[in-house]
């Protein structure tokens, strides 16, 4: 029995249905053992992402209005367990993404200014960037993020890892929104989602600049 | 918890934020419409999540997108054969998987694999439940899940700059 032919059976092994030949093979084949370990790592990690993405608060308002218009609920706010469900939907901040609702490029400007000595970007620049400016600011922002994370890593590795993970998630969501917007540039909901994502990113950057203040919110 | 769970499911299954919002809205409207039929035989969260899955699958079918694929159920890598030497350990992921890379890899899975992977490994459904949802056999669900995980491993390895990890 060779490793290549065993590939189909590894799934059965993970389900606890392996043949004696496969069990015997796995006892001495370090390569197949490592494959099984990888597949188990994926299996372990997958449930942890079930609740990754936060819908923007406006979505709940949309749902509420639609339910009300359809006569599915008689009054607002909802009562009983529906009220609990509705309250749960409201934009309560997740611990590591505590709300600070500053605009991301203003924060970016502060960071860039902090790093370079240049003055912060004026508030009127605080919108979703367009054209070539976007590339420059995005590059500087990425650089600032990495520098801040590296510095935090020295003083507080645990917090640094939390921020690193959450920034990665927010950046991924921004990327996803941007790609959706590229397909449908006129869609205001997607644009709002993108703005929300940038706002989420500003929360994180703000928290990194002033963790004590964020902790007290 | 519910809002994030439902929205994340919709987003992951469609890879489109606008569609995910529409489907999340539809799932919660269905919840309000059907709440009278909730008998308490399962946990409320279980009922809501199952309802959300059905909303997404119905949407994909209405768009003419297959939720399982016979082509994918075959052996896509078979003809390519082994790609590397055997014998040594090749523990690519070192026991941990970064969640963003995991999301990216899920997004790149072929649709049929993606559905089964999300339903089984992320959402925690059993193969018999998935077979019922996707209108396929339990064996097909198991087979696609295994291939999805192998493909995920391949994609995760690529994301680490290590090239293809295929056998």
Rounded Cα distance, A134 and B108, in Å:
26
Nearest alpha carbon to residue B3 among B38, B52, B70, B39 = B52
- The answer to whether the Cβ–Cβ distance between A193 and B17 falls below 8 Å is yes
B89 touches chain A (CB under 8 A): yes
* Tokens coding B68: 């399982």
Q: Which residue among A15, A49, A51 sits closest to B102, beta carbon to beta carbon?
A: A49
B74 touches chain A (CB under 8 A): no
Q: What is the pLDDT of residue A93?
A: 34
ipTM over 0.85: no
Rounded Cα distance, A196 and B20, in Å:
15
Closest chain B residue to the Cα of A70, Cα to Cα: B29
DSSP A26-75: HHH-HHHHHHHHHHHHHHHHGGGGTT-PPPPHHHHHHHHHHHHHTTS-SS
Closest chain A residue to the Cα of B157, Cα to Cα: A38
Q: What is the pLDDT of residue B3?
A: 84
Contact A90, A54 (CB under 8 A): no
List of long-range contacts for B19-24, beta carbons under 8 Å, 24+ apart: B19/B59, B20/A53, B20/A55, B21/A55, B21/A56, B21/A59, B21/A62, B21/A189, B21/A193, B23/B52, B23/B55, B23/B56, B23/B59, B24/A55, B24/A59, B24/A63, B24/B52
Q: Under 8 Å CB-to-CB from B43, ≥6 apart: which residues?
A: none
* Residues of chain B with C-beta less than 8 angstroms from the C-beta of A50: 5, 8-9, 122-124
* Residues of chain B with C-beta less than 8 angstroms from the C-beta of A59: 7, 21, 24-25
- The answer to whether the Cβ–Cβ distance between B25 and A66 falls below 8 Å is yes
A with B: how many residue pairs have Cβ under 8 Å apart?
A: 176
pLDDT under 50: residue ranges of chain A: 77-131, 213-217
Provide the 10 A C-beta neighbour count for residue A16: 6
Q: Which residue among A169, A183, A189 sits closest to B21, beta carbon to beta carbon?
A: A189
Q: Which of B17, B85, B108 to mutate to test the interface with A (most CBs of A within 10 A)?
A: B17
pLDDT tens-place values along chain B, 167 residues long: 688 899 999 999 998 999 999 999 999 999 888 877 777 667 788 888 999 999 999 999 998 877 665 544 445 454 444 455 444 555 566 667 888 889 999 999 998 899 999 999 999 999 999 999 999 999 999 999 999 999 999 899 887 765 555 44
Rounded Cα distance, B31 and A209, in Å:
41
* Residues of chain B with C-beta less than 8 angstroms from the C-beta of A183: 16
Rounded Cα distance, B72 and B85, in Å:
26
Closest chain A residue to the Cα of B127, Cα to Cα: A15
- The answer to whether the Cβ–Cβ distance between B121 and A88 falls below 8 Å is no
Our CA-based measurement puts residue A94 at a distance from the nearest CA of chain B, in whole angstroms, of 10
* Tokens coding A44: 């372990």
Our CA-based measurement puts residue A84 at a distance from the nearest CA of chain B, in whole angstroms, of 11
Q: What is the pLDDT of residue B52?
A: 95
Kindly tell me the burial class for residue A185, based on how many C-beta atoms sit within 10 Å of its own C-beta (0-12, 13-18, 19 or more).
exposed
Our CA-based measurement puts residue A182 at a distance from the nearest CA of chain B, in whole angstroms, of 11
Rounded Cα distance, A55 and A50, in Å:
13
* Residues of chain B with C-beta less than 8 angstroms from the C-beta of A5: none
């Amino acid at each position: 029995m060779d490793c290549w032919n065993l590939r189909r059976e590894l799934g059965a092994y993970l389900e606890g249905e392996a043949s004696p030949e496969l069990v015997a093979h796995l006892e001495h084949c370090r390569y197949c053992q490592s494959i099984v370990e990888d597949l188990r790592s994926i299996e372990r990690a997958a449930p942890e992402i079930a609740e990754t993405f936060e819908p923007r608060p406006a979505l709940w308002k949309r749902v509420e209005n639609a339910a009300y218009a359809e006569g599915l609920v008689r009054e607002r706010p909802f009562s009983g367990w529906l009220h609990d469900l509705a309250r749960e939907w409201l934009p309560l901040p997740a611990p590591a993404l505590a709300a600070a609702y500053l605009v991301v490029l203003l924060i970016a400007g502060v960071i860039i200014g902090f790093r370079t000595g240049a003055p912060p970007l004026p508030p009127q620049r605080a919108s979703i960037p367009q054209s070539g400016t976007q590339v420059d600011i995005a590059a500087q922002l990425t650089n600032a993020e990495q520098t801040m994370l590296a510095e935090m890593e020295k003083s507080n590795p645990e917090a640094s890892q939390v921020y690193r993970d959450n920034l990665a998630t927010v950046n991924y969501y921004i990327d996803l929104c941007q790609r959706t917007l590229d397909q449908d540039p006129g869609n205001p909901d997607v644009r709002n989602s993108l703005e929300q994502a940038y706002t989420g990113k500003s929360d994180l950057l703000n928290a990194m600049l002033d963790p004590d203040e964020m902790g007290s919110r | 918890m519910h809002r994030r769970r439902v929205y994340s499911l919709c987003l992951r299954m469609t890879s489109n934020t606008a569609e995910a919002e529409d489907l999340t809205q539809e799932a919660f409207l269905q919840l309000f419409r059907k709440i009278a039929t909730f008998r308490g035989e399962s946990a409320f969260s279980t009922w809501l999540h199952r309802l959300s899955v059905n909303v997404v699958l119905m949407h994909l079918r209405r768009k003419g997108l297959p939720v399982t694929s016979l082509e994918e159920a075959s052996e896509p890598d078979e003809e390519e054969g082994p790609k590397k030497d055997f014998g040594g350990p090749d523990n690519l992921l070192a026991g941990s998987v970064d969640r963003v890379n995991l999301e990216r890899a899920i997004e790149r899975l072929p649709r049929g694999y993606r559905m089964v992977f999300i339903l089984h490994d992320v959402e925690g459904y059993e193969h018999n439940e998935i077979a019922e949802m996707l209108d396929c056999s339990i064996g097909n669900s198991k087979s696609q899940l295994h291939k999805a995980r192998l493909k995920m491993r391949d994609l995760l390895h690529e994301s680490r700059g290590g090239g293809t990890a295929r056998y």
